[in-house]
Amino acid sequence: MVDARQAAYLEALGIDVYVRRGLAPKPAVAGVIAPDTVSGDSRDAAVGAAATADGGDRTTAAPDRPSTGSEALDWDALRATVSACERCALHSTRTQTVFGVGNRAARWMFIGEAPGAEEDRQGEPFVGRAGQLLTSMLKALGLKREDVYIANVLKCRPPGNRDPRPEEARTCRGYLERQIELVDPALIVAVGRVAAQTLLETDAALARLRGRVHGLGARQRPLMVIYHPAYLLRSPGEKRKAWLDLIEAKQVFQRLERGEQVLS
């Protein structure tokens, strides 16, 4: 069952909410998702299916990445360096770089693939229709945009909103890694297939990456994968799976905050 606030957020996500007759919604508890929002059988089945071992999926060896010289930069110096970056050809077609936005000491960090046209114009990630849906997804978690930090794998928009090329992602990787170090989040959420595959350096399908906790980088930072809001706008029938992903991410986050081990 969901409370009135969560029901409104689920409605914004386009997910139908059913309430048994004669039962009033439970009071809202800020930042906590009601455990019976989805039946235990449905949640366990969905999470269990996604969490099966991904044998046969190839994880590529990490190629040598050119240093961006950002390893010791503070926030202001890093932003200035990104703003002036001309390390790949994307600098010649961008309106401006899209650095990142949000709480620089956030416990949650969301990472998308690259800026789109609206992000390129405004200089902020996730501000178009997909950004509005991401904001609704955050609200369903009991979070506001200012509670989390949002960034992208690439800091410049690829022409025509095409997927980032491997060499572009490698060239830009140092900037993102420094952002992660500065934020030091408890949980990283990769938003969409491209971001997940790039961060984890794998070609595994999104279906095999969702519903489980991955370790990112040498420090094995906990990372989870969710659908990209743009995909959900094109495929609204997948929004219920997206809700299951959010529930699982919230549960993992709560375990992390209790100091529990989430990586096997």
Q: What is the pLDDT of residue 8?
A: 55
Average pLDDT on 148-158 reads 98
Q: What is the pLDDT of residue 71?
A: 81
3-state SS class at 238:
helix
3-state SS class at 93:
coil
Q: What is the pLDDT of residue 164?
A: 95
Contact 113, 198 (CB under 8 A): yes
Number of domains in the chain: 1
Q: What is the pLDDT of residue 42?
A: 37
Residue 72 pLDDT class (50, 70, 90 cuts): confident
| pLDDT tens digits, 21-51 | 444 444 333 333 333 333 333 333 333 333 3
| pLDDT tens digits, 162-191 | 999 999 999 999 999 999 999 999 999 999
d(CA 71, CA 52): 36
Contacts (Cβ under 8 Å, ≥6 apart) of 116: 128, 130, 157, 161
Question: Which strands make up the sheet holding 187-191, listed edge to edge?
Answer: 101-102, 149-152, 108-112, 187-191, 221-226, 214-216
Give the structural domain span for 6: 1-264
Contact 191, 229 (CB under 8 A): yes
The structure tokens listed for 13 are 């996500």
145: Cα within 13 Å, side-chain hemisphere = 14
CATH code where residue 84 lies: 3.40.470.10
Contact 238, 210 (CB under 8 A): no
Give the burial class of 247: count Cβ atoms within 10 A of its Cβ; 0-12 exposed, 13-18 middle, 19 or more buried: buried
Average pLDDT on 193-202 reads 97
Contacts (Cβ under 8 Å, ≥6 apart) of 114: 152, 153, 154, 156, 157, 158, 161, 163, 164, 194
Q: What is the pLDDT of residue 132?
A: 95
Of residues 8, 13, 6, 1, the one with CA closest to residue 30: 6
55: Cα within 13 Å, side-chain hemisphere = 1
3-state SS class at 130:
helix
Q: What is the pLDDT of residue 56?
A: 38
